[in-house]
Amino acid sequence: MLATLDLRAASPHAATREPVTCALDIHPDRSMTDDRIRVLLVDDHAIMREGLAAVLTANGRFDVVGQSGDGATALQLFQDLAPDIAIVDLRMTPMDGVDVTTAMRNIDPQARIIVLTTYDTDEEVFRGLRAGAASYLLKDVDSAELIEAIHTVHAGRKSISPKIAAKLADHVAADQLTARQQEVLNCLSEGKSNLEIAQSLFISEGTVKAHVKAILQKLDARDRTQAITIAIKRGMVRTL
């Protein structure tokens, strides 16, 4: 068994990204897998998928029923295989892990998804968890921690590391923006002026100013620039 899952530099081909489909159980028969947890792996790095599959298979309590290197194929496998757990890489193209997680939850609102990534910025954490992921883990996670997280999520609970929980706690006190305020915030992040926002949203410029004032207060920001910076860190707006 591998001691950790830090496989990013394990091979000169580690940066290779290619869409790969591997469905091991197209018509799943739960009686054939006993009580093993059925897992779907989604990552556009082949070396990462292979490392994860090796760790889970060696454990004996998991059945890796399918693998995919791209989001669209992953969704088809998710529908065909109905896995107990999907482990999804956050950074993929053209469909990223947040989009995949959202789509899986639309297919099955009870879908149990673990986001596994190399990124732990506020923006990435909030995007993953808001999309419906039950756990957010880094790719250098110890294999024991990964296995514990899978069992926790399979049991219907969330598995959040203390570091990630601290990031969440930093922001729980902030008031939620209204739908209109979120629209204004999105426009601000695009660099639009008050007049341009008013024209885009079909509201008056005075109303825009009122919304901007409320946004600054809720985000505890001095000005528009700081508000956008805070919103990006918290995953409230998408960055290009």
pLDDT single digits (tens) 52-100: 999 999 999 999 999 999 999 999 999 999 999 999 998 888 899 999 9
Which range is least confidently modeled, 21-35, 67-81, 102-116?
A: 21-35
Q: If you average pLDDT over residues 123-134, what whole number do you get?
A: 82
DSSP sequence for 163-198: HHHHHHHTTTTSPPPPHHHHHHHHHHHTT--HHHHH
192 shares a domain with 103: no
CB–CB of 89/117 below 8 Å? yes
Amino acid at 85: I
Question: Tokens 């950074």 — which residue?
Answer: 91
Inside any domain, residue 75: yes
108 shares a domain with 184: no
Residue 42 to residue 88: CA distance in whole angstroms = 5
Inside any domain, residue 2: no
Q: How does the average pLDDT of the chain come out, rounded? A: 83
Give 18: exposed, middle or buried? Use CB within 10 Å, 0-12, 13-18, 19+.
exposed
111 shares a domain with 76: yes
Query: What confidence category does residue 232 fall into, taking pLDDT thresholds of 50, 70 and 90?
Result: confident
51 shares a domain with 102: yes
Give 12: exposed, middle or buried? Use CB within 10 Å, 0-12, 13-18, 19+.
exposed
List, in order, residues 6 or more apart from 178 with CB less than 8 Å away. Answer: none
199 shares a domain with 145: no
Residue ending a domain, among 115, 145, 169, is: 169
Range of the domain at 216: 179-233
**Position with higher pLDDT, 105 vs 2:** 105
Residue 7: per-residue pLDDT:
43
157 shares a domain with 129: yes
Residue ending a domain, among 118, 143, 169, is: 169
Residue 224: per-residue pLDDT:
95
198 shares a domain with 152: no
CB–CB of 42/68 below 8 Å? yes
Residue 15: per-residue pLDDT:
44
Inside any domain, residue 207: yes
187 shares a domain with 161: no
Inside any domain, residue 106: yes
63 shares a domain with 155: yes
50 shares a domain with 75: yes
The total domain count for the chain is: 2
Inside any domain, residue 77: yes
158 shares a domain with 184: no
CATH number for the domain harbouring residue 223: 1.10.10.10
**Position with higher pLDDT, 2 vs 134:** 134
Residue 101: per-residue pLDDT:
95
Residue 240: per-residue pLDDT:
58
Query: What confidence category does residue 116 fall into, taking pLDDT thresholds of 50, 70 and 90?
Result: confident
Residue 137 to residue 21: CA distance in whole angstroms = 23
97 shares a domain with 164: yes
Single pTM value for the model: 0.64
Residue ending a domain, among 127, 144, 169, is: 169
As separate numbers, helices (DSSP H) first and strands (DSSP E) second, the chain gives 10, 7
Inside any domain, residue 41: yes
CB–CB of 78/43 below 8 Å? no
Inside any domain, residue 31: yes
CATH number for the domain harbouring residue 61: 3.40.50.2300
CB–CB of 131/124 below 8 Å? no
Inside any domain, residue 10: no
